[in-house]
């Protein structure tokens, strides 16, 4: 099997090292991708530095046109890319197609925002002075992305950085680099100037260290675990390297007595089981009010039992495998821990007796709030449900977490919706909405869920520096 090449300084380059890619539904090797060493990372950074001046100097409209071209090349190959996502990540076809569509939309959104990186003119305070605020690209960007949404989590870093005028070096997850290669192909097909975008793969820690220590790299944008995010923060201290971090989540989902039951069940299914629960905004802690508790649990469990689990390529599959054995084992341990503490297993809870990392979608009722699954990030199709009585109790439990990425609330009471949204400690809140994230609105976390925002207009700002220019002049 010939390893796939990396994209460096406008060329596809082979190296003598590679790593293998596994299909989580079959545990078979589906490909290999080349890797580089630390000197290779340094060389990529040098190329990016050399490309910076030319790229930032282009009119914003020209950069926008490149982004639109990338979007259309990705769209043209959408079906092929969706199949790649299924094969290396495991998610079902419908979700993979959505992922491509969202990634394409990210490029389109930032092509539009590219033309709006406005500064401002400040009315003068004293005679003989004028003040201007201008925006400049931050410089060379290192983008490190994870495996769970391998295409769009990369796109929401690469597109705004390019739009802002920054060269980008992308380091995808070693579990899902084939999607990144597909995106790099679209970028190459759009004839982007050499060195403006590069794709590397190799030892993650080494690459992170080079990006942190090399002064050419001005910013690292990272999505991944809170543990690695913290290590990047420590490493960034030496040179005060700029970081954007989208880290773990442990989203609460609150269902009030006054909720529309059907909406709450459908919203909860979407918020919980997308990508087999392996999403940083997945609903991981369900709080359901006493008056609706039995009806919600019954309707929710009925829908979960009916979900078809299998290889994402099979027709009608709604839940694919988890990405690897480690995640599956930690989910099984969380389920056992909850049962040991008195939870009732309503459905699922077992590994499927077949090849691949399949876990049955699982619902646990009457879960103790100190169970592992209520405290640690659950990156799995496991829904633990807790009963509550008062609104204030639900808000307190929802906020009682190290994480603050997203939260969900189902209610038909407008006053309550406002009270709850104002108090929930989360960067993204879905009110009667299980799929709140979109290109057009900012996304990021409070507390240990990260620093900064992606998407929206904030997503472009993350790659721009703000400068104040003061003019002395004669009136
Ligand atoms: P997960 O455990 O879900 O795979 P990680 O945080 O380990 O999440 O991975 C997210 C991304 O961060 C991946 O691209 C991975 O290769 C990368 N990564 C892992 N360790 C480091 C590190 N020490 N420095 C920089 N990047 C890292």
Catalytic residue among 95, 113, 246, 391: 246
pTM (2 decimals)? 0.98
Q: Whose alpha carbon is nearest atom 9 of ligand 1?
A: 224
Residue 64 C-alpha to ligand 1 middle, in angstroms?
30
Averaged pLDDT score across all residues of the chain: 97
Q: Whose alpha carbon is nearest atom 23 of ligand 1?
A: 205
330 lines ligand 1 (CB under 6 A): no
pLDDT, mean of residues 293-314: 97
Residue 245 C-alpha to ligand 1 middle, in angstroms?
12
pLDDT at 110 over 90: yes
Instruction: Write down the pLDDT at residue 1.
Output: 81
3-state SS track over the chain? CCCECEEECCEEECCCEEEEEEECCCCEEEEEEEECCHHHHHHHHHHHHHHHHHHHHCCHHHHHHHHHHHHHHHHHCHHHHHHHHHHHHCCCHHHHHHHHHHHHHHHHHHHHHHHHCCCEEECCCCCCEEEEEEEEECCEEEEECCCCCCCHHHHHHHHHHHHHCCCEEEECCCCCHHHHHHHHHHHHHCCCCCCCEEECCCCHHHHHHHHHHCCCEEEEEEECCHHHHHHHHHHHCCCCCEEEEECCCCEEEEECCCCCHHHHHHHHHHHHHHHHHCCCCCEEEEEEEHHHHHHHHHHHHHHHHCCCECCCCCCCCCECCCCCHHHHHHHHHHHHHHHHCCCEEEECCCECCCCCCCECCEEEECCCCCCHHHHCCCCCCEEEEEEECCHHHHHHHHHCCCEECEEEEECCCHHHHHHHHHHCCCCEEEECCCCCCCCCCCECCEECCEECCECCCHHHHCCEEEEEEEEECCC
249 lines ligand 1 (CB under 6 A): no
pLDDT at 383 over 90: yes
Q: Torsions phi, psi of 72, nearest 5?
A: -75, -35
Instruction: Write down the pLDDT at residue 148.
Output: 98
pLDDT at 337 over 90: yes
Percent pLDDT > 70 in the chain is: 100
| 390 catalytic per annotation | no
Contact 397, 335 (CB under 8 A): no
pLDDT, mean of residues 140-162: 98
224 lines ligand 1 (CB under 6 A): yes
167 lines ligand 1 (CB under 6 A): no
Residue 315 C-alpha to ligand 1 middle, in angstroms?
32
Among 24, 225, 233, 235, the mutation site with the greatest number of ligand 1 atoms within 8 A of its Cβ is 225
Q: For 128-140, what is each residue's pLDDT tens digit?
A: 999 999 999 999 9
Q: For 239-270, what is each residue's pLDDT tens digit?
A: 999 999 999 999 999 999 999 999 999 999 99
Q: Whose alpha carbon is nearest atom 25 of ligand 1?
A: 208
In which band, very low, low, confident or very high, does the pLDDT at 170 lie, cut at 50, 70 and 90? very high
pLDDT at 316 over 90: yes
19 lines ligand 1 (CB under 6 A): no
| 179 catalytic per annotation | no
421 lines ligand 1 (CB under 6 A): no
User: Sign (positive/negative) of CA torsion 33, 39, 40, 42?
Assistant: positive
Instruction: Write down the pLDDT at residue 392.
Output: 98
């Amino acid at each position: 099997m010939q390893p796939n090449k990396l994209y460096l300084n406008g060329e596809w380059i082979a190296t003598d090292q590679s790593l293998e890619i596994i299909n989580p539904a079959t545990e078979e090797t589906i490909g290999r991708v080349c890797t580089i060493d630390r000197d290779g990372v340094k060389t990529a950074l040098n190329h990016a530095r050399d490309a910076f001046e030319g790229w930032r100097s282009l009119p914003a409209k020209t950069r926008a046109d490149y982004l639109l071209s990338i979007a259309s090349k990705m769209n043209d190959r959408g079906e092929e890319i969706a199949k790649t996502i299924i094969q290396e990540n495991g998610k079902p076809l419908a979700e993979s197609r959505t992922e491509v569509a969202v990634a394409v939309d990210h490029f389109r959104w930032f092509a539009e925002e590219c033309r709006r990186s406005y500064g401002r003119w400040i009315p003068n305070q004293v005679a003989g002075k004028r003040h201007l605020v201008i925006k400049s690209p931050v410089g060379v960007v290192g983008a490190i992305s994870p495996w769970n949404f391998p295409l769009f989590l990369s796109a929401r870093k690469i597109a705004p950085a390019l739009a802002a005028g920054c060269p980008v070096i992308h380091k995808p997850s070693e579990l899902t680099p084939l999607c990144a290669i597909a995106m790099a192909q679209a970028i190459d097909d759009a004839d982007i100037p050499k060195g403006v975008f590069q794709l590397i793969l190799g030892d993650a820690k080494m690459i992170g260290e080079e990006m942190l220590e090399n002064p050419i790299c001005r910013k690292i944008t990272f999505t991944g675990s809170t543990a690695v995010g913290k290590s990047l923060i420590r490493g960034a201290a030496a040179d005060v390297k700029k970081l954007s971090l989208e880290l773990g989540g442990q989203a609460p989902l609150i269902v009030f007595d006054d909720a529309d039951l059907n909406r709450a069940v459908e919203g909860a299914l979407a918020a919980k089981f997308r990508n087999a629960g392996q999403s940083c905004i997945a609903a991981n802690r369900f709080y359901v009010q006493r008056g609706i508790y039995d009806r919600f649990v019954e309707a929710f469990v009925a829908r979960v039992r009916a979900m078809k689990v299998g290889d994402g390529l099979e027709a009608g599959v709604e839940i694919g495998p988890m990405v690897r054995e480690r995640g599956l084992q930690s989910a099984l341990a969380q389920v056992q821990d909850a049962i040991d503490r008195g939870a009732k297993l309503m459905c699922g809870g077992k590994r499927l007796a077949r090849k691949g990392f399949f876990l049955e979608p699982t619902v646990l009722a009457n879960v103790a709030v100190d169970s592992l699954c209520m405290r640690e990030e659950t990156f799995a199709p496991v829904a633990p449900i807790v009963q509550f009585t008062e609104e204030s109790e639900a808000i307190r439990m929802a906020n009682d977490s190290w994480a603050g990425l997203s939260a969900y609330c189902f209610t038909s009471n407008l006053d309550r919706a406002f009270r709850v949204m104002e108090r929930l400690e989360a960067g993204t809140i879905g009110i009667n909405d299980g799929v709140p994230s979109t290109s057009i609105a900012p996304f990021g976390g409070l507390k240990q869920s990260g620093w900064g925002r992606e998407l929206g207009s904030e997503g472009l700002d993350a790659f721009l520096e703000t400068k104040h220019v003061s003019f002395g002049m004669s009136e």
